[in-house]
Structure 1
Amino acid sequence: MTENNLKKIHLNTINNQLLIQAFFFVLLMFSSFLYAQEKPKKARANLKHADFITKNPERFEGNQFLTGNVVIEYKGDIIYADSAVLYQDKNLAVAWSNAKLVSKDKTITAKRMEYDGQTTIAKAFENVVLTDPSSKIQSDYMEYNRTTEIATGIGNVDVKTPTQQIYADKMIYERLTGNIIVNDTYRTIGSDGTMVEGKNVIYNVKEKSSTFGSEVFITNKDYTIYSRKMTTNDITGITTFRDYSKITRRNDPSQYIITSDGDFNKKTGEAWLRNNSKVYYQNKILSAEKLYFNDKTGFGRGEKNVVLDDPLEKRILKGDYGEAYRYLDSAFVTKNAYAIKAFDKDSLYISADTLLAVKRHDVDSTSIVKAFHKARFYKSNVNGKSDSLVYNQTKGVMQFYKDPIMWSGDSQVTGDFMEAYTNAKSQKIDSMKVFNNAFVIAKVDSLVENEYHQIKGKYLTVLFHDDKIDFLNVEENAVALTYMDDTDEKTKQKERYGVNISYCGIIEADVVGNEVELVACRVKSDGKMYPLSKFPEELRYLPDFKWRIGERLNTWKDIFVESK
């Protein structure tokens, strides 16, 4: 063998040794890795006591049969039973006859129980009862996970807490969070007698609160509640609504609340409602973007877009702030306040800084609307304004105070105090009276600037026909200034020939279109007729004449226009 061959053999030997060493190093590292990745062994269930221990290879897979005061321990949990089998290879304890599991601050009893040390899940069968400091749960079957502390009860589940008793077919109890979860139908009875029925609820025994995920029906001694989504708190008594909900008084179902966003305190009867919720009371409807209502005191307060609808009176009050008093049967609105009284063929519109609606429960249950400061009203045949007005809806009488003024067509009526009367059949203003400083002005010709029929006196009665002023009766110190027309027989055209001024104790006049024709001038009558060409300019306007047609309300929306 040559020297070169010897060298090759030596090198191959060295390489083989290096390979063997590398292999064992890798094997050692891999074994260490596997050892590091190996999960720690599970704790095992241990037998602590049994009065009798027997073993039959043909029974219980050859495991020991334990009887008499059996005690098995697993990581601090204790299982008690009259009889049990401990499957050592499965780390499983099966106990029956007065089986009981004691784990920290809770106890589970059942007719039969299985405790799996591998999964840390206890299964309890028949007459199952879980008891902890905050609740007691009974069911036909229960699984309890020691690691997660979650109990699942199935079949005739009955949960008792300090404030609730819950019935369901299936329930999940998360002890760490305190949540009792029911994903199917349930029924609860509160300590105050409140009954709740529905589906999908989470009840927290720590916070004593409930979250309802779908339709729920609640009944207590004062109210019934229906909601599609809400939460309740037994400590505060507050229910929060997040979908369509209805709260109804049990002693009077006509009084209820509709909301999809609000809070209700069943203890105090108070409700804080949002998003145009509605309160129904005494056949009225109160709504607002933000609404407070106390069902026990009957007081309600609304902010923004406040609406008080009274269907029986066919009347609506609106404003940006309002208050209602159920037991006083009154309400007021302010801030852009206005009222609408609906008639069969027409409506009356009233606005003011503040509107007050009151129903006096006297013989005829008189319904009254009062408008204070900058009052304005509009009806198809008459409109006007004053500092304040009172509308007796029952009697159909409107009273106007402080600087009242009315218009009907091109006729203007002013005085110190006015009353307008609505005909019950026609539902139109058919007459009015003016007291002290009555003054009627009517434009003679729209093409002539300075010609006006004028009638003054202390008292004035106005009669309407076909929505227009038809007849005037003026009493005490009556004065009439009227333009006289004649009709040309050939051309049939009217020609103005003079102006008549009459001074009478009583003046009666017919009004046809723009024409005012004196019918009677009685009691100390006096006067003079002037040819048009000789009519003195200084007599053209009676004392206190003021034509204010620019302030007239031409549509109902003009009730919102400030006085000029």
Structure 2
Amino acid sequence: MRAIHISFILLLFTFISFSQTPNKNKIIIHHADRSDINEELLPNAVILTGNILAEHDGMTMRCNKAYYFKNEEYLKLFGNVHIVQQDTLIMDSKYAEYNAINGFAYAQGDVELRSPDSTLVTDTLKFDRGQNLVYYDSYAKITNKGNVLESNKGKYFSNEKKFQFFNAVKITTEKGTIVKSNHLDYYEVPEHAYVFGPSTITSEEDFIYTENGFYDVQQDLGKLLKNSYIWYDKRKLEADSIYYAKLQDFASASYNVRITDTVNRAVITSHYAEMHKAKDSIFVTKKPLVKKENEPKDTLYLHAPIITLTGKEKQRVIKAYQGARILRDSMSGKADSIHTSELTGITKMIGKPVLWNGESQLSGKLIHLLSNVETQKMDSLKVLEDAFVIERDTIGDGFNQVKGVNLYGKFQDNKLNEIDVIKNAEIVYYMYNEKNEFVGIDKGICSHINVTFEENKIATASRIVAPTSTLYPDDFLPTNARKLRGFLYRGDEKITGLQNIYSQEELDKEKLLLEELKSKKHIYDLPMAIQAETLEAESTGENLLDRSPRKTDSSTNVSSPSPTSKAINTKKEEKDLNKFSEQKKEQPKMLKKEEKAPEKMLKLK
């Protein structure tokens, strides 16, 4: 009986000494309703029961029952575990372990970790106090200011207030946007997400794919690199670098830009573009090209240093500036600017316009091309003021010419069939007989000349209304009289195909631009650098390619076991734990290599 009394006194003395020790590596036991020592049942441990309060280095721990291994400064906590670290992190669980020597904690069973801005719920969690690092390798759900984040593996960097997720990551924002990735960093205070590897961002209106990007969850802003594209309804925007602002219905893109408009059967390429969704507006520059399929074997190409496209379906207006060029089947042309309207079917060539139809060159002060708004087929053309038609003689070295005030033409199957030159018409025409023997040069004037075409060449030229003309033998008409006033042949400017629709200056600029891109391409294969918006919580608009990549933490293996975690190896511990581990919740499927938009959006109508 006396031995038991002495043992109790020693135990009490030991417990009091635990509460008063100032050693930083020591766990302080502030309170327990009861304490026991049973070397046979649990060697080298104090069994604490009821309303336990312990502390170590500013962190308090509460639970229903605990095992305190004094020699190792190790604590096992059972039932209603509640841990608070300096009011910045609060953790609840059914079971936990804590090592005061290395500052490692382990929690299991209905784990809930709370910071001032987020709540994390999972089955098993590990905490390294030395690095202020929390990590887990089982399904977890985090709630942050109305946003819900889910993943199968991840870390939380307390100092940076940053989550780093791996494996089947999903963010569902307060606004309903869904972000999916297999590698995502999330800064909880500004609500910024960085994705690396195949990732998608989906809202009710838009679909985004990227393999390297930044997304501001609160402001719905995105910066995307590497294999990125955006689906705006039935338009797809692709580029090496994309900026996206959902609230403004705006996106801009740089380097190898491609816009596919499935409704209007058009493809736009360039090295810089802006899209204003609400305004149905597109701006493209840096070697832009618009390709529009009207029907099989009828494709229109339009190029200029600057092109704008505005308006809704079937009301689209396209304007090309600062040296525009057009190519369609056997017809091509150029002008200072070209404007085309889908609503009226009129294409206006303004400022030194010239049009080539096969071997014929048409020019004037203003050229209008008219198309059927339903079929999109070429219908007619107008050349207003100083109309001039020139065609090189196919046998000799002269030029057939027709000029007048205005010219009106008709198309058949998208080919120029005939033209009428009206008012003050003049003609120079090289005549041949049926054996293709030169007869003479017909030169004359009248009020109206009709010209027909076969196989894109002048077939006949008929003078109508008060014609006067003279047929000159070759030696009787001086060279300077063989060209009508205003003659300007621009055959060396003729656009014969896509290979020469661009100027050499534009091709040289593109070469330099692509070399610049190539020198920065390695950045695409590294996680994106932390943006100024994240560091300063405000927009700066910096160029993504001018930043160095951020470092990602790989020092801690999230799948490794809790450091120095003591095995639960006694029947007593097994009973106290009560099998806290529960079946894991159903986990989301891994994101595939490229999660695509609905198939119906990918097909041209």
Question: Given the two structures, how large is their TM-score scaled by the length of structure 2?
Answer: 0.76
- Measured after TM superposition, the shift of residue 208 of structure 1 is 1.3
- Measured after TM superposition, the shift of residue 444 of structure 1 is 2.5
Task: Determine the C-alpha separation between the residues in 2 that align with 1:427 and 1:327.
Answer: 26
Is 1:422 matched up with 2:422? no
- Measured after TM superposition, the shift of residue 400 of structure 1 is 0.5
8 Å contact from structure 2 (residues 314, 342) kept in 1: no
Is 1:110 matched up with 2:71? no
Higher Cα Rg: structure 1 or 2? Answer: 1
8 Å contact from structure 1 (residues 369, 391) kept in 2: yes
Taking a change above 3 Å as real, the CA distance of residues 196 and 427 of structure 1, as seen in their structure-2 partners, is same
What SS does structure 1 have at the residue aligned with 2:139? strand
Mapping of residues 87-486 of structure 1, within 5 Å: 90-133=43-86, 134-190=88-144, 192-222=145-175, 223-249=177-203, 253-345=204-296, 346-359=298-311, 361=312, 366-423=315-372, 427-445=376-394, 447-450=395-398, 452-486=399-433
Structure 2 partner of 1:45: none
State the one-letter code of the partner of 1:454. Answer: Q
- Measured after TM superposition, the shift of residue 356 of structure 1 is 0.9
What SS does structure 1 have at the residue aligned with 2:499? helix
What SS does structure 1 have at the residue aligned with 2:472? strand
Higher strand share: 1
State the one-letter code of the partner of 2:441. Answer: V
Gaps of 5+ in 1: 1-52, 488-492
State the one-letter code of the partner of 1:286. Answer: L
- Measured after TM superposition, the shift of residue 426 of structure 1 is 6.1
State the one-letter code of the partner of 1:386. Answer: A
Q: Choose the corresponding residue for 1:495, options 437, 442, 447.
A: 437
8 Å contact from structure 1 (residues 131, 137) kept in 2: yes
Task: Determine the C-alpha separation between the residues in 2 that align with 1:162 and 1:271.
Answer: 26
Q: Deviations over 1:445-476 (max 9, x none)?
A: 2x4112x2211111111223355432111111
Structure 1 partner of 2:460: 517
8 Å contact from structure 1 (residues 70, 82) kept in 2: no
**Which stretch shows the higher mean deviation, 327-336 or 300-309?**
300-309
Task: Determine the C-alpha separation between the residues in 1 that align with 2:500 and 2:9.
Answer: 98
Task: Determine the C-alpha separation between the residues in 1 that align with 2:117 and 2:335.
Answer: 60
Task: Determine the C-alpha separation between the residues in 2 that align with 1:147 and 1:403.
Answer: 84
Task: Determine the C-alpha separation between the residues in 1 that align with 2:458 and 2:77.
Answer: 102
Is 1:561 matched up with 2:503? yes
State the one-letter code of the partner of 2:80. Answer: N
- Measured after TM superposition, the shift of residue 537 of structure 1 is 3.7
- Measured after TM superposition, the shift of residue 380 of structure 1 is 1.3
- Measured after TM superposition, the shift of residue 287 of structure 1 is 2.9
Task: Determine the C-alpha separation between the residues in 2 that align with 1:275 and 1:186.
Answer: 29
Task: Determine the C-alpha separation between the residues in 2 that align with 1:547 and 1:54.
Answer: 123
What SS does structure 1 have at the residue aligned with 2:484? coil
Task: Determine the C-alpha separation between the residues in 1 that align with 2:412 and 2:392.
Answer: 19
Structure 2 partner of 1:31: none
Q: Deviations over 1:285-335 (max 9, x none)?
A: 233222222222223222222233322222222222222222222121112
- Measured after TM superposition, the shift of residue 219 of structure 1 is 0.8
8 Å contact from structure 2 (residues 446, 463) kept in 1: no
Mapping of residues 4-15 of structure 1, within 5 Å: none
Gaps of 5+ in 2: 507-605
Aligned residue pairs, count: 494
- Measured after TM superposition, the shift of residue 353 of structure 1 is 1.2
State the one-letter code of the partner of 1:474. Answer: V
**Which stretch shows the higher mean deviation, 154-163 or 96-105?**
96-105
8 Å contact from structure 1 (residues 444, 515) kept in 2: no
Task: Determine the C-alpha separation between the residues in 2 that align with 1:521 and 1:501.
Answer: 14
- Measured after TM superposition, the shift of residue 549 of structure 1 is 1.4
Task: Determine the C-alpha separation between the residues in 2 that align with 1:324 and 1:391.
Answer: 19
**Which stretch shows the higher mean deviation, 327-336 or 375-384?**
327-336
Structure 2 partner of 1:78: 28
Task: Determine the C-alpha separation between the residues in 2 that align with 1:97 and 1:66.
Answer: 17
Task: Determine the C-alpha separation between the residues in 1 that align with 2:385 and 2:252.
Answer: 40
List structure 1 runs of 4+ shifted beyond 6 angstroms.
62-67
Taking a change above 3 Å as real, the CA distance of residues 461 and 395 of structure 1, as seen in their structure-2 partners, is same
Counting aligned pairs with the same residue, the percent is 23
Is 1:506 matched up with 2:484? no
Taking a change above 3 Å as real, the CA distance of residues 350 and 160 of structure 1, as seen in their structure-2 partners, is same
Q: Deviations over 1:332-361 (max 9, x none)?
A: 1112222211233232111111111111x5
- Measured after TM superposition, the shift of residue 165 of structure 1 is 0.9
8 Å contact from structure 1 (residues 199, 216) kept in 2: yes
Taking a change above 3 Å as real, the CA distance of residues 563 and 533 of structure 1, as seen in their structure-2 partners, is farther
Task: Determine the C-alpha separation between the residues in 2 that align with 1:395 and 1:201.
Answer: 58
Task: Determine the C-alpha separation between the residues in 1 that align with 2:318 and 2:415.
Answer: 25
Q: Deviations over 1:370-426 (max 9, x none)?
A: 110111111112101111101223443321011111111111111111111334576
> What is the Cα-based RMSD across aligned positions, in Å?
2.9
Task: Determine the C-alpha separation between the residues in 2 that align with 1:173 and 1:466.
Answer: 75
**Which stretch shows the higher mean deviation, 178-187 or 326-335?**
326-335
Task: Determine the C-alpha separation between the residues in 2 that align with 1:339 and 1:64.
Answer: 92
